[in-house]
Structure 1
Amino acid sequence: MSYSDFIFVANNLALDFLNTESLAGESVVERLTSGEKVLDWLQEAALGSLRNSEASPNLLELAIRLREEMKECLAMAKLGKPYGADTVNLILEQGAPTLNLGWDDKSGRFIVTERYGAITDEALLHPVAHAFVQLVTDIDLNLVKQCEAPDCILMFHDQTKSHRRRWCSMALCGNRMKVAAHRTRAQQKLR
């Protein structure tokens, strides 16, 4: 696995999961190509404590189904329209951790910890589904944007002070778009 396989630019776990599908030229690039790749993404997203040694045969299919539903739900939510969230709800229900209240001697106070009984596909994807719920219920969806580069479909949560972020990242698209705009202006001056 190379760390260039996945892109984490969205400032949001759910949006980074949506960004496992991107563009290369005019072709869509699927970054989740196997159950192992789903586990790799979870590891890179710092959800590695849930990783088991082998991907189940159904993990990839569930992850793709979750991503596609999240994409449609988000698009409809931005339009103020309803959309079913069956896969999200299935994962939230079947993958939910058990909360445990315990005393922490170090801090001298009670703390809540999460425990997953069995590491199922739903448990693996639960943090993503939970992040998506928070995205569509707690975040101003006007700040959830798609990169303005014409050859990019990556999404991000604009957390800038002015809320004028335009690109998925300066390194991926911003600099390239600024250079292209500069060249266009320079060519227009020569005419």
Structure 2
Amino acid sequence: MASPLASVRAQDSVLEFLNTVVPHNGQWVDLFQRDEDVMAWLERAGLRDLVVMREDGRFEGLATEARQLRENLRRLIVQRKSDEPVDTELLRPVLMEGSYQMQLVEDHDGNLKAVCQFSAQSSVQVLAPLAIAAAELLARGDFALIRQCESTGCPLWFYDRTKSHRRRWCNMSVCGNRQKAARFRTRPHVDELTEQ
């Protein structure tokens, strides 16, 4: 089930991962219903290519592992954003399972890049690149610019990479317009003021 907010650009893969539970028609929709949903998300996020899968490419329980990691990351992001102590143990199990090798590769323009290749024999190992990205975000992210949408009831997060750093909504055309319309409806209108 697709949501109009499913394509929201959080400007960070970890925050995009958090944004896989979305409001849709007044209900919460979890975009990770099946293992294949997680694999498709990893592909869209550009993380699937970092993982060398076992031969059958099937990882039972991947959706369950992804949902658990997502909720742990949500807690960590909220802790970090609130300047609370960060419970690093929430991320440790996935980080400990990760196994990778560095490779030097040449891109299509002839530029050299150092690339991590993760070996995945289990569902947890498939999520290792995301866990590393989360650890980097928690350690080095600018949490003054990591925000939750200001729209009432919207759970989505984003990294404000705008020039002015004044972004307030996950998506201007959805939440931003909704908030502006609500403010407009509560404001006294000029014609009402002239009648008084």
TM normalised by structure 2 equals: 0.80
Query: Which whole-Å CA distance do the structure 2 matches of 1:6 and 1:101 have between them?
Result: 34
Query: Which whole-Å CA distance do the structure 2 matches of 1:42 and 1:48 have between them?
Result: 5
Aligned counterpart for 1:65 among listed residues 58, 63, 68: 68
Return 5+ residue gaps in structure 1 as ranges: none
Give yes or no for the alignment of 1:185 onto 2:191.
no
* Equivalenced residues, count: 189
Query: Which whole-Å CA distance do the structure 1 matches of 2:149 and 2:5 have between them?
Result: 19
- Residue type at the aligned position of 2:98: G
Cα gap change, 1:150 to 1:103, in 2 (>3 Å): closer
* C-alpha deviation, 1:68, in angstroms: 0.8
Q: Report the counterpart of residue 93 of structure 2 in structure 1.
A: 90
Query: Which whole-Å CA distance do the structure 1 matches of 2:3 and 2:21 have between them?
Result: 16
Query: Which whole-Å CA distance do the structure 2 matches of 1:34 and 1:85 have between them?
Result: 28
Cα gap change, 1:102 to 1:184, in 2 (>3 Å): closer
Kindly report the root-mean-square deviation, in angstroms, between the aligned alpha carbons of the 2 structures.
2.9
Residues 24 and 151 in structure 1, CA contact (< 8 A), matched pair in contact too: no
- Residue type at the aligned position of 1:182: F
- What are the residue-to-residue correspondences of 1:20-169 with 2, within 5 Å? 20-24=20-24, 26-49=26-49, 50=51, 55-101=58-104, 107=110, 111-169=113-171
**CA deviation vs aligned residue, 1:70-123 (integer Å, no higher than 9, x gap):** 11111111222223333522222222321135789x74x864232233353233
Residues 69 and 85 in structure 1, CA contact (< 8 A), matched pair in contact too: no
* C-alpha deviation, 1:51, in angstroms: 8.2
Calculate percent identity across the aligned residue pairs. 31
Residues 52 and 119 in structure 2, CA contact (< 8 A), matched pair in contact too: no
TM normalised by structure 1 equals: 0.82
SS at match of 1:70: helix
SS at match of 2:174: helix
Q: Report the counterpart of residue 172 of structure 1 in structure 2.
A: 174
- Residue type at the aligned position of 1:117: S
Give yes or no for the alignment of 1:19 onto 2:53.
no
Return 5+ residue gaps in structure 2 as ranges: none
* C-alpha deviation, 1:189, in angstroms: 5.4
